[in-house]
């Protein structure tokens, strides 16, 4: 009578190739669009962007229907909606309990976070391109004497930079809280409340450009305003407080968090 071998069965994974960064980007991009909430948010961003262009076109005078004004109007709404995308991209790993699978397949958590950063910025760039395209159409048919006045490379760079900063701030808050509701509420409420306090309270008014991101970004939001060296210093200081600091703290939390 034969007996079963008592030798333990082993699985050799030493030759299994690691998941490349390009593959990880594709996976993160799919995560960005494969939930009902994220799909509706993407649709809402597109619809709202188009709606703002139409509303501004109908409500403004012919001379105001310039490319810079139209993109500026879309940027206000996009700055509130776009950062929600990276927040959901980060927090969904923990709310849907997929972090265990993700970090098992890709043990380097920093690599996963980097992929989320890249995918979030790519999604933001797509939204920016949509805003530019719709604003260009509105400017062409708007009838303004000089519809593309001030719409040089400097304005394109400023607009893209401001939208990217909002996305990175949203992602930083997502990393810091690892909870969608908490991150979204704090992102939408705390910076605005602090900006109001910093500009109303006399003791903080002088320091507001250094410590408040909204105040520091103001010179960059107008294509007709020339920014100077001190404006960049203000932006760097406020960004370190509201983007870099929460991002670093959030990254440390993700790297150390216990996955259940």
pLDDT, tens only, 124-136: 999 999 999 999 9
Report if residue 88 sits inside a domain.
yes
Q: Is the pLDDT of residue 112 over 90?
A: yes
- Indicate the average pLDDT of the chain: 90
Whether 202 contacts 177, CB under 8 Å: no
Report if residue 13 sits inside a domain.
no
Specify the pTM: 0.90
Report if residue 112 sits inside a domain.
yes
55-58 contacts: CB < 8 A, separation 24 or more?
Answer: 56/138, 57/138, 57/142
Report if residue 259 sits inside a domain.
no
Report if residue 4 sits inside a domain.
no
pLDDT tens digits, residue range 5-14?
555 566 555 5
Q: How many CB atoms sit inside 10 A of residue 14's CB? A: 4
Range(s) of the domain holding residue 119: 21-253
- Position 1 scores a pLDDT of 47
Q: Is the pLDDT of residue 100 over 90?
A: no
Helices (H) and strands (E) in the chain, counts: 13, 0
Report if residue 73 sits inside a domain.
yes
Report if residue 39 sits inside a domain.
yes
Number of independent structural domains in the chain: 1
Report if residue 3 sits inside a domain.
no
Reference 241, options 209, 196, 197; nearest CA is 209
């Amino acid at each position: 009578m034969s007996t079963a071998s008592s030798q333990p069965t082993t699985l050799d994974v030493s030759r299994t190739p690691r998941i490349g960064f390009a593959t990880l980007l594709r996976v993160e991009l799919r995560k960005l669009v494969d939930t009902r909430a994220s799909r509706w948010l993407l649709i809402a961003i597109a619809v709202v962007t188009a709606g703002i262009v139409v509303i501004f076109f109908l409500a403004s005078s012919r001379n105001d229907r310039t490319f810079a004004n139209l993109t500026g109007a879309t940027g206000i709404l996009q700055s509130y909606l776009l950062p929600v995308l990276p927040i959901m991209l980060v927090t969904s790993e923990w709310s849907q309990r997929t972090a265990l699978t993700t970090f098992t397949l890709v043990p380097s958590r920093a690599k996963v976070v980097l992929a989320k950063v890249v995918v979030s910025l790519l999604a933001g760039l797509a939204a920016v391109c949509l805003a530019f395209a719709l604003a260009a159409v509105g400017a062409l048919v708007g009838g303004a004497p000089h519809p593309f006045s001030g719409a040089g490379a400097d304005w394109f760079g400023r607009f893209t930079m401001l939208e990217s900063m909002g996305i990175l701030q949203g992602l930083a808050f997502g990393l810091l809280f690892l909870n969608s509701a908490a991150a979204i509420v704090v992102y939408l409420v705390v910076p605005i409340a602090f900006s109001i306090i910093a500009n109303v309270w006399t003791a903080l008014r002088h320091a507001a450009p250094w410590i408040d991101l909204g105040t520091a970004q103001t010179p960059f939001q107008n294509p007709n305003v020339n920014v100077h060296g001190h404006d960049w210093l203000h932006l760097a200081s406020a960004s370190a407080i509201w983007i870099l600091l929460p991002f670093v703290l959030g990254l440390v939390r993700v790297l150390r968090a216990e996955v259940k």
